[in-house]
Amino acid sequence: ALPSLSPSQQKALELAHLHGYYTFPRKINLGKLSKIANVRVATFREHLRKAENKLMPLLTQRIWKPEES
């Protein structure tokens, strides 16, 4: 089952993905993303990190144990 993300966490993750935050090199930084989301940088960073921390265990489990997924 997917972890439950708050609306703010969902928005942060969607914006980060949509605007190329996870590409290499990054196409956008947290400052610009926070302006798009109309929140302070620290707030955006917190929402994004919380979303990533909720999803990471699921992703790593599927990478390391794909036969159990």
Is pLDDT of 33 > 80? Answer: yes
Under the banding of pLDDT at 50, 70 and 90, the label for residue 46 is: very high
Q: Which two tokens stand for residue 23?
A: 């590409």
In 3D, which of 19, 1, 25 has the Cα closest to residue 48? 19
Stretch 45-56: mean pLDDT: 96
d(CA 29, CA 21): 7
Is pLDDT of 65 > 80? Answer: no
The pLDDT score that the predictor gives to residue 67 is 64
Other Cβ atoms within 10 Å of 50 Cβ, number:
16
Contact 37, 51 (CB under 8 A): no
Is pLDDT of 30 > 70? Answer: yes
Percent of the chain with pLDDT over 90: 77
The secondary structure element, H or E, covering residue 11 is helix 7-18
